[in-house]
Amino acid sequence: MLVELYKDLCKNERWYNAYCSTGEKSNGKIFFFFNTNYRKLLSFEEGYYVLKNVENVERSSWEHSSSHGQEIEKQHTVNMLKSKIFSKNANVYYRSKKGFAYSDMLAKDFSYDEKWLMTYLTILNGYFANVPNYIFERTKVILKMMEERGVSREAYTKLLKNFINTYENHSNNNIFESDYLFFDTFYQNFEGIDFLKLFLEASEEERKELKLYVAEQRKDRVATKKQIDTISYKYKSTGSYTRATLIDNAKIQYFTLLIMDGTYSDYQEFYQSVTEKFRQLYPSINVHEILSFIENHKSVYELIFNELFGNVQYSLNFGRKEDETVSDQSVDLDQRIDDTEAEAVNTYHKVSTVLKNLAKANSNYKCELEDFFDCQYFTSKESHKHYVEVHHLIPRAVGNDFESSIEVVENYVTLCPKCHRLVHLGEDVERKPALHYLYLKRHEKLKERGLDITEKQLKKYYLIEE
């Protein structure tokens, strides 16, 4: 019986903890920007205001809490940087162009639903958990997990929609009766035990029994006491994972599934389409107000659209044209580029073209992994030298994590096309030694430019498991 199996699994401490904990290595959360400090999507607002209090204030003079000794603002820095609402320079946090757009949005008289939609749109190109366009990418991963269990995209979308419709505005409904709760909890299997699959294969009767049991457990126990039941402990009302988190998880996945595979001729068509889909669930939103707000902050929202749909290349540009040589040498190489608005892309392009050419010349048109791999060269018809490409050692997408600009020649690595593809596309066992070698070669120089990074962190950026 399903419920008996469930009780047995709960006795397995590792299984129990894996699903309760919202830590990085556990299965406890679907989206990695939800944690103790972010129980719902609109917690971004709270985080924003906290950090805004210390905007342009040297971090060394941030106040420390008397109870836990940490800076009060610390818990919000990661989400604010990874959503690119704030950036930092030396020890000072400041608002990006996107941050100013976000604060204009908060200052407007938007309703809860309108604010929810705008927050969702604003963070769509964030790089949470070091994954650019995190929300789209993560939703794809979850969808794949569902499809592997025989749940079609259509069925999953429908489940999410039903869950939102049934539970969002009915606080007294028993959320333990919903199937989605079990999807949200057990979306990932644990060391070969796929509880969600067993749940799906069980009869309606068995599922009902399990749901009743969990609901009973929740009633009987004190929230602060560690319980013997995974679900009721995880969703205890005082915990870091609440009903609001569940609702927002479902909403984020639902809207993402509706919009991520669309083809849009431009940003306007995209935002019109999203807003229209959103209006179907929330008819009272003012579509006109939202679209005119986006139009007024076009440079920010156009870039978000371009990043989401691949019109801005962050990683490997296998372009047909070789990097051009710049005639305009007047570009300021030391500026910190605010990459949250569309115009910045031109500046970025200018700076990086100069730096790429500099990096190639410094390497004498040789691959920097030459001591390590068999490099393959051909002669470029444009430069009449080895055709080489330039790679950002610290990936461009995570630049906002750093206090200094990563657009410095020390961060530009010259590679032959084969090694470049390897660094991006190779198996971890092959990428790891290459990365280790490049790290040893560069980390001192990077440090001198204010880019102090450990090898462990670098590996995380490449999503290489330790």
Residue with smaller CB distance to Zn ion, 142 or 367: 367
Nearer to Zn ion, 100 or 387 (CB): 387
Pick the closer one to Zn ion by CB: 214 or 369: 369
Q: Does 406 bind Zn ion (CB under 5 A)?
A: no
Q: Which is nearer to Zn ion, 293 or 412 (CB)?
A: 412
Supply 310's token pair.
């691949």
Interface with Zn ion, residue 367, by CB under 5 A: yes
Binding mask 417-436 for Zn ion (x = CB under 5 A): --x-----------------
The verdict on 20 binding Zn ion (CB under 5 A) reads no
- Closer residue to Zn ion, CB minimum distance, 22 or 133: 133
Task: Write the binding mask 173 to 192 for Zn ion: x where contact by CB under 5 A, - elsewhere.
Answer: --------------------
Buried b (16+ CB within 10 A) or exposed e, 115-137: bbbbbbbbbbbbbbebbbbbbbb
- Per CB under 5 A, 369 contacts Zn ion: yes
Rounded CA-CA distance 213/204 in Å is 14
In the list 345, 375, 451, 458, the residue contacting Zn ion (rule: CB under 5 A) is 375
Say how far apart CA 211 and CA 229 lie, in whole Å. Answer: 12
* 391 contacts Zn ion (rule: CB under 5 A): yes
Question: Cβ contacts of residue 125 below 8 Å, gap of 6+?
Answer: 84, 132, 133, 303, 304, 307, 308
Q: What is the dihedral of CA 185, 187, 192, 194, to 10 degrees?
A: 80
Task: State in angstroms the smallest separation of the CB of 315 from Zn ion.
Answer: 6
Using CB under 5 A, pick the residue from 210, 416, 435, 453 that binds Zn ion. 416
Shortest distance, CB of residue 460 to Zn ion, whole angstroms? 17
Q: Determine the interface stretch with Zn ion among 65-73, 235-243, 250-258, 408-416 (rule: CB under 5 A).
A: 408-416
Q: What are phi and psi of 347, to 5 degrees?
A: -60, -45
> H or E element: which one contains 304?
helix 298-308
Q: What are the φ/ψ torsions at residue 38 (nearest 5 degrees)?
A: -130, 85
Q: Which residues contact 252 (CB under 8 A, 6 or more apart)?
A: 31, 41, 120, 135, 139
Q: Which residues pair with 389 in a beta bridge?
A: 415
Q: Which is nearer to Zn ion, 252 or 388 (CB)?
A: 388
Q: Strand pairing partners for 193? A: 190
Residue 394 engages Zn ion in binding (rule: CB under 5 A)? no
Q: Among 35-43, 159-167, 350-358, 361-369, which window interacts with Zn ion (CB under 5 A)?
A: 361-369
* Radius of gyration (C-alpha) of the chain in whole angstroms: 24
396 touches Zn ion (CB under 5 A): no
Q: Choose between 30 and 435: whose C-beta lies nearer to Zn ion.
A: 435
Q: Which residues bind to Zn ion, rule: CB under 5 A?
A: 367, 369, 375, 391, 416, 419
